[in-house]
A and B are shown apart, each in its own frame.
Chain A
């Protein structure tokens, strides 16, 4: 009963309502973008991007505090997307490039945060989010950034689909692959920024990658992929958030909201794998 209760009425509480809004907007953007990550096999590049954006988030936080971190984060996101796009375009071993950029930037971010007063607490908040204490400003900024990310991919949808399907012919039919890659990578980086308050820099990868993977298991119809991906992310977010709340209220076990949501994403993926296994 308590669980059912937390699925609905709990969201009347302002902090729960804010957490849900942030997650739903994030799910919509990451759900759609995640399909392209999956179709193009950009999981590792996405991992690289999340970490490359981290020093921007950290520097923004040190300079501007929680609500002010977005300026630094956005600059870092766009810079990281440009650098990784150009590097992976160079045909040097793309994985090695990403791994080097990823670790270097992440270390830089940790050093930035170490300059702030409450080092451990702040680092934790940046890495894992602070879903249940998201501020009103964070809701607004997160939503705007996530929607811009979504629009970048929606407006270039045809080109993105063409590249994903047949990279070799993309240029020949008049698309610019570099520009399309850049657009997608900037969109991924923006989702990373948007997710920093809700699930943090480490867990955002799950939000980017799991919904697309679930949708690929669920359907082979193009239009449905995007619906399933975003819909799944929203549902898993809702259930995860309600569970975290229910457990802390009824069982007095305070568990972090962001991590619970991510576990629900993964649980959904496992259930989908099982369902596919049974249907075979």
Chain B
């Protein structure tokens, strides 16, 4: 494997000593990292460690209560928000909800369309392209609630993609996916990265992080480590983040002993 120097692409996301809080409760602090355009960052840590908090912070749903954060070289605001796409953790969708997959994906264009404008050619083209990228073109007219869980997940990803985001935030995108859907998603992420889209994703699956991500942020209420996969995913770091938790390492399930001996 060749040694790759720092990528030539511009910085997409940069945090220096950043903290995110819910009210007075600091959920995640001391985050210092930089991700370049076209790179994918895996957020890894136990449940409640601040992975989703991080995504919400980037989205602007939580305040930055310490340090700094810049998205595409600008302080977070309405302009940066428009460049982000978000895939929430898969929710139960009411199977009777009367929208087709295509209508759901069109929701991704709402922000550009405002309250009034009818879908224009560009909107329809973006929807078609998002459906193609996620491999759902043939299901466009189907009611969203009738799709399988994995297809719904890809449909919501297509909704995020329809807005042509420069950065994509995926919260546990691989949870509950079967093998074909998982592979389809991995492939989609690769294509997006190739187009220069920056990807931030939370996952429990280290093997998956290795497959699609360039960098890792390991958290447990605070930053444990950040860097390349090889540098970060060391036993010592994982113990610090996951003491006592069960993790999947290369298809082996291990319970990491606590670093304090418990």
A residues at B contact (CB < 8 Å): 39, 155-159, 161-162, 164-166, 168-169, 171-174, 216, 219-222, 225
For the complex, what is the distance from the CA of A39 to the CA of B56, rounded to whole Å? 27
Question: Smallest CB-CB separation from B85: which chain A residue?
Answer: A173
- Tell me if B99 and A222 are in contact (CB < 8 A): yes
- Tell me if B98 and A158 are in contact (CB < 8 A): no
Q: Which residues of B contact A162 (CB under 8 A)?
A: 107, 110
Name 16 interchain pairs, CB-CB below 8 A, sorted by A. Answer: A39-B98, A155-B115, A155-B116, A156-B115, A158-B115, A161-B99, A165-B93, A165-B99, A166-B93, A166-B107, A168-B89, A171-B61, A172-B59, A172-B61, A174-B78, A222-B98
- Tell me if A172 and B110 are in contact (CB < 8 A): no
Question: Smallest CB-CB separation from B82: which chain A residue?
Answer: A174
- Tell me if A222 and B103 are in contact (CB < 8 A): yes
A211 → chain B closest CB, angstroms:
15
Contact flag A173-B98 (CB < 8 Å), given A166-B88, A222-B103:
no
Name the contact of A219 in the complex, choosing from B98, B103, B116 (C-beta under 8 A): B98
Q: Which residues of B contact A159 (CB under 8 A)?
A: 110, 115
Q: Which of B102-117 contact A (CB under 8 A)?
A: 103-104, 107-108, 110-111, 113, 115-116
Q: Does B226 contact A (CB under 8 A)?
A: no
- Tell me if B143 and A220 are in contact (CB < 8 A): yes
Q: Which residues of A contact B91 (CB under 8 A)?
A: 166, 168
Question: Smallest CB-CB separation from A168: which chain B residue?
Answer: B88
Known: A173-B107, A222-B100. 16 other contacts (CB 8 A): A39-B97, A157-B115, A164-B97, A165-B99, A166-B91, A166-B156, A168-B88, A168-B89, A169-B88, A169-B156, A171-B61, A173-B86, A220-B96, A220-B98, A222-B98, A222-B103
Q: Does B81 contact A (CB under 8 A)?
A: yes
- Tell me if A169 and B86 are in contact (CB < 8 A): yes
- Of residues B61, B107, B163, which shows the largest number of chain A Cβ atoms within 10 Å of its Cβ? B107
A145 → chain B closest CB, angstroms:
22
- Of residues A156, A157, A164, A168, which shows the largest number of chain B Cβ atoms within 10 Å of its Cβ? A168
Q: Which residues of A contact B143 (CB under 8 A)?
A: 220
Q: Which residues of B contact A166 (CB under 8 A)?
A: 88, 91, 93, 107, 156
A272 → chain B closest CB, angstroms:
15
For the complex, what is the distance from the CA of A220 to the CA of B100, rounded to whole Å? 9
For the complex, what is the distance from the CA of A171 to the CA of B56, rounded to whole Å? 10
For the complex, what is the distance from the CA of A222 to the CA of B98, rounded to whole Å? 5
The 3 closest A-B pairs by CB, nearest first: A172-B86, A220-B98, A158-B110
Name the contact of A174 in the complex, choosing from B56, B81, B93 (C-beta under 8 A): B81
For the complex, what is the distance from the CA of A149 to the CA of B156, rounded to whole Å? 31
Question: Smallest CB-CB separation from B114: which chain A residue?
Answer: A158
- Of residues A169, A172, A216, which shows the largest number of chain B Cβ atoms within 10 Å of its Cβ? A172
- Tell me if B98 and A216 are in contact (CB < 8 A): yes
For the complex, what is the distance from the CA of A161 to the CA of B100, rounded to whole Å? 13
Q: Which residues of A contact B98 (CB under 8 A)?
A: 39, 216, 219-222, 225
Name the contact of B107 in the complex, choosing from A161, A168, A221, A225 (C-beta under 8 A): A161
For the complex, what is the distance from the CA of A205 to the CA of B47, rounded to whole Å? 44
For the complex, what is the distance from the CA of A225 to the CA of B98, rounded to whole Å? 8
Q: Which residues of B contact A169 (CB under 8 A)?
A: 86, 88, 156
For the complex, what is the distance from the CA of A162 to the CA of B88, rounded to whole Å? 14
- Of residues A164, A174, A221, which shows the largest number of chain B Cβ atoms within 10 Å of its Cβ? A174
Contact flag A165-B81 (CB < 8 Å), given A173-B111, A220-B143:
no
For the complex, what is the distance from the CA of A155 to the CA of B156, rounded to whole Å? 25
Contact flag A174-B61 (CB < 8 Å), given A165-B97, A168-B91, A220-B96:
no
